Structures are given as structure tokens and as C-alpha cells.
A and B are shown apart, each in its own frame.
Chain A
Amino acid sequence: MAKRLRLKIITPLRLLYNDDVEMVILRAAFGDMGILPGHEVCAAVLGYGPLRILGEGAKENELAVLGGLAEILNDRVTVLSNAAEWPNEIDRVRAEAAKARAEQRMLKKTNDTDMQRAELSLRRALVRIEVSSYPLIRGRQ
């Protein structure tokens, strides 16, 4: 039997995922990282992006992770994020509205526009929109 990887995704509101998987692809601060069992012991700052879970067979899940930390041990990955959502939980309309709002703010910029904040909320909205269009094939919880 192939080696497995234990993936745990935790947010302040709940435990999102706690199961064995074959591979995890996560968005670190400077690019994507693919993690297979036996990965080097590592800690990473996460960016805003989709997190892909490859499980048994062709099962594949994707969820939106908005920042946080990941601890990667030999056979265990722990993701600690302040916000993570499954595609079906994302309010698409709200995300679109947030995107439009952030773009507006960046276009009509005045001196007191907080560009960094506008950019972050735009990036969050984009990730949510991207992930929400992804089909949900949730494995056993």
C-alpha cells in the first residue's frame, strides 16, 4: 500500500478536513507547493489561493484558503488558516460584489485610499470566485 499523508485543515470556526490523502497542492507565499508523503520537514506561509487535495483514485477536491500557515512533516500536513471555505459554501454573488468594490476603490484612488487593503480584498474575491466554480467532490469527512 502506498504511503499516505494525513491532512488537517483547521480554522477558528471549525475543523474543515481531517483525513488521509495522496497529495496536497497548496499556495505558499511565493508559489505553489506540491506535497507527497515523505516530503521534507517544512513550514510555509500561505498565500491566498486554492488548495487542492488529491485523494483515493481520481478523487480531487479543491477549497479556498486565504492565508495562514502550514506545517509539513513527513506524513502529516497541518494547515492553520483564519479563513478557508469549500466551493459550495462560497457566496459567489458576494465575492463578485467584493471584487467590484475593490476595483472601484483602486480606480478612484484618493490619498486616503488604503491600496494594500483594497488589493488584498480584491485577491480574496478572485480566489473565492475561482474556487466557487470548481466542482465539489467531497470525500468522506
Chain B
Amino acid sequence: MAFIRGIKSRIRGVRGTQQITRAMNLVAASKLRRARDKLQNLRPFVEETLRVTHAMAARISDRNNMYIKARPVNNTAVVVISADRGLCGGYNVNVSKAASALIKEKPREHLITVGTKARDYFRRRNGNIIRAYQGVSETPFYEDAADVGLLAVDLYESGEIDEIYLVYTEFNSVISHTPKVLRLLPLPDAPESGGYMAFEPDEDAFFEYAIPKYVSTVIYGAMIESAACEQGARMSSMENATKNSTDLINRFTLQYNRARQDAITQELAEIIGGAEAL
């Protein structure tokens, strides 16, 4: 009897968990839809910003311009974008690992983390975190990205860091996400000048305005990509959890029924045995 009661309470427990995972799956699905819409509208803007900025960099007349000239690298800023919460499969770990691999090649890293998961990951590994943002991962605003971007650009301009990397997760489809590493600054140096270009008002003023904008925009794009990935990853991992708990419940139910049948059979046998003995 004790066994039967135990299995009954396990079934109840798993059912409770399943209710939660099913709800989380539905919530993630609806958040994913919103995040994808946003991403779809934003992508062309980010792509154009990247294209235009790189094209302009190739046309700067001053080849020593600080935004294109690579300096000897001593200090590297790495912006890592992760989620604030877990229960989304390998999403957080994958992006943190990509950042970790990058850092290994660099003499000294300065981490700017977005989302508590990346912060915790690097804190455990004694990474040099200079700034940790939280509470923005799920619904990022441009202002949040501009905060991160301006901080990084300021450090770059003052010479405290020599390059800026961005590590985020790219959204291919609901189930396919790839961690990406992108160098924001210095801009990729074209081997030869792409031809003459007039800058309005002038070259220095133009890039002083354009570079923070470019960095912030690309970071914003990465935040939106990552937010969509987070919801996608959560949705599919919760779907799996729900499916697994269905399997568990089926197995337990079978065991329960068997145990119940055994108990009845045994009772019958006892009664019959008892009657015969009389």
C-alpha cells in the first residue's frame, strides 16, 4: 500500500511541474512572436548601418584615423549579451563560452555584461567585469544599448581600451541560434582606400557623431537578436520538459495500475485461500 501511495504522490508532483512548464512554454511562444516582429523590422536598419559605416571607413582620407587604425592590443573590451533568467537550454552557456574563447586569446579583457547569466558566469571564473547591466535582456530599448555603446566608445576614445568586441546570439530560426563574435572597433581596415568621399561637416566631426551611433545601433540589434533567441530557446526547452513529464506520468501510471492490480489479485488469493482453509 505504501508503494501505491508513494507513486500516486509522484504522479501528482510531475503533473504540477508539467503545468508550470506548459505555461512557460506558452508565455515564451507569445513573447517570441513579439520579439521576432521587432527583429524583422530592425534587421535592415542594422545591416545598412554596418554596410554604410564600413564603406565610409574605407573612404576615410586620413588613414591614421583612430577608428580605423589598429593599435597594439593590450586591453580588449568585450560586450556579452545573455539573458537574466535561466530555463532556456544551452542559450546562456553557449554565448558565455564563445566570449570565454575570445578572451583566452587576449592579453587583458574588460567585460561589459548584459544579463545576469553572463555576469554570474564570468564572476565565477574571475573575469574582469567593468560593468554589468541587468533587467534589459528581455525587452531591450535603444537607450539601454546606447548606454552600453557610449561607455565602450568613451573607453576606446580615451585609449583605455584598444578594441571593442561584441558577443551575442544570432537568431536563425526558432530552434537554430548561433553565438556570434563581432569586432566593432577599430573598423575593418580596407587594404586600399575606396575612393574619395566628402564628409559633411568634416571628416573628424562626422565620425565623432557616426561612430557612437554605429556602435549603439549594432549593440541594439544584437540585443534584439539575443532576446528573440532567449525566448526561442526557452520555448523549445519547455516544450521538451512538458513532453518528458508526459512520458514520466505515463510510466508512473502504468506502474501504479500494475501495483494496484497486484494488490487486488493478492487480496483475492488470500480470501480464496482463507475460504478453502475453513
Contact = CB atoms under 8 A, between A and B. Distances in A.
Given A12-B42, A41-B195, A82-B142, A71 B201 contact: no
A40 B198 CA distance: 8
B197 interface: yes
Contacts of A82: 142
B197 A42 contact: yes
A40 B200 CA distance: 12
Interface stretch (B22-30, B49-57, B229-237, B248-256): B49-57
Given A14-B41, A80-B48, A43 B199 contact: yes
B220 interface: yes
Given A14-B41, A80-B49, A71 B55 contact: yes
Nearest to A69: B210
Given A10-B45, A12-B42, A12-B142, A42 B205 contact: no
A41 B198 contact: yes
Contact of A71 (B42, B44, B56, B220): B56
A47 to B, nearest CB: 10
A10 B206 contact: no
Contacts of B198: 40-43
Interface in B205-243: 205-206, 209-210, 213, 217, 220
A63 B42 CA distance: 20
B59 A45 contact: no
A44 B207 CA distance: 10
Contacts of A71: 52, 55-56
A69 B197 contact: no
Q: Is the interface of B mostly helix, strand, loop or mixed?
A: helix
A30 B201 contact: yes
A29 B202 CA distance: 11
A121 interface: no
A43 B57 CA distance: 11
A80 B52 contact: yes
Contacts of B59: 41, 43
A43 B45 contact: no
Contacts of A69: 52, 209-210, 213
Contacts of B205: 29, 45
A137 interface: no
Contact of B48 (A13, A42, A44, A78): A78
A14 to B, nearest CB: 5
B3 interface: no
Interface of A: 8, 10-15, 28-30, 33, 40-45, 68-69, 71, 78, 80, 82
Interface of B: 41-42, 44-45, 48-49, 52, 55-56, 59, 142, 195-201, 205-206, 209-210, 213, 217, 220
17 contacts: A11-B45, A12-B42, A12-B45, A15-B44, A29-B209, A40-B198, A41-B195, A41-B196, A41-B197, A42-B200, A43-B59, A43-B206, A44-B199, A45-B205, A71-B52, A78-B48, A80-B48
Given A11-B45, A41-B197, 6 more contacts: A13-B42, A40-B198, A43-B210, A44-B199, A45-B201, A78-B52
In order of increasing CB-CB distance, the 7 nearest A-B pairs are A44-B200, A42-B198, A71-B52, A45-B209, A41-B197, A12-B45, A10-B45
